[in-house]
Amino acid sequence: MLSFTPRAREMVRSFMDQSEGELDALRIHLTGGSPVAPSFELTLVGPDEAKEDDVRVEADGLVVLVDPSSAKRLEGASVDFVQRVNETGFEITPLAPQPSVKAPTGAIADRVQELLDQQVNPSIASHGGKILLADVQGTEIFMQMTGGCQGCAMSRMTLRQGVEKMIRQAIPEITEIHDVTDHASGENPYFSD
């Protein structure tokens, strides 16, 4: 169902060891986010905290408890422990593609998609890239970069300095623009550092 990187396994075991045997399983639960960028909560639990309907998974020597509604989103996922400039913690990627996820609809989605189709994607197509509207939640939009943009070192600048400015000028009611691209799996970036 899912796998752990060596660093993630080491950190989970370290946290369990600090509990002096009181905690023996890791619970993973879907807490929100969007269909393409869900957010998960990871907690250590004791033997009496397992729920009757939990899906129990042995993953790389660890016992993982997952509620049934989160289990389908974790199929094929990998758990890592990351340490970056502004964040430290567990990260779950990549998540299995969701065939039931449909293209976003509604007034904002239509306006963003029209802007992408007419102004943004024709100009980045020369670099082998394309930007997709992955989701809309209220006045927040979720963008996914593909092709030559996925994994490109310049993709953040392209999105923030170019595409985001165009979207905010054309559709000022948008409050947040999120990049949900899995840049680590980009195979053919147009520009790399």
Highest averaged pLDDT of the listed ranges 33-47, 70-84, 150-164: 70-84
Ordered structural domains, the chain, with CATH: 2-93 (2.60.300.12), 107-185 (3.30.300.130)
CA 98, distance to chain mean position in Å, is 12
Q: Quick one: what percent of the chain has pLDDT higher than 70? A: 76
Query: Could you give the C-alpha distances from 33 to 95, 116, 164, in angstroms and in order?
Result: 13, 23, 20
Q: What is the pLDDT of residue 47?
A: 78
Asked if 109 and 96 count as a contact pair (C-beta separation under 8 A), the reply is no
* C-alpha torsion sign, points 141, 147, 149, 153: positive
What's the pLDDT tens digit per position in 100-134? 456 788 999 999 999 888 888 777 776 667 788 88
- Residue 97 neighbours by CB under 8 Å, 6+ apart: none
What is the arithmetic mean of pLDDT over 52-70? 84
Spell out the SS3 assignment of the chain: CEEECHHHHHHHHHHHHHCCCCCCEEEEEEEEECCCCEEEEEEEECHHHCCCCCEEEEECCEEEEECHHHHHHHCCEEEEEEECCCCEEEEEECCCCCCCCCCCCCHHHHHHHHHHHHHHHHHHHHHCEEEEEEEEECCEEEEEEEECCCCCCCHHHHHHHHHHHHHHHHCCCCCEEEECCCHHHCCCCCCCC
Predicted local confidence at residue 143, as pLDDT: 82
pLDDT greater at residue 97 or residue 9: 9
The pLDDT assigned to 172 comes to 93
Tell me which of 63-72, 105-114, 178-187 is least confident.
178-187
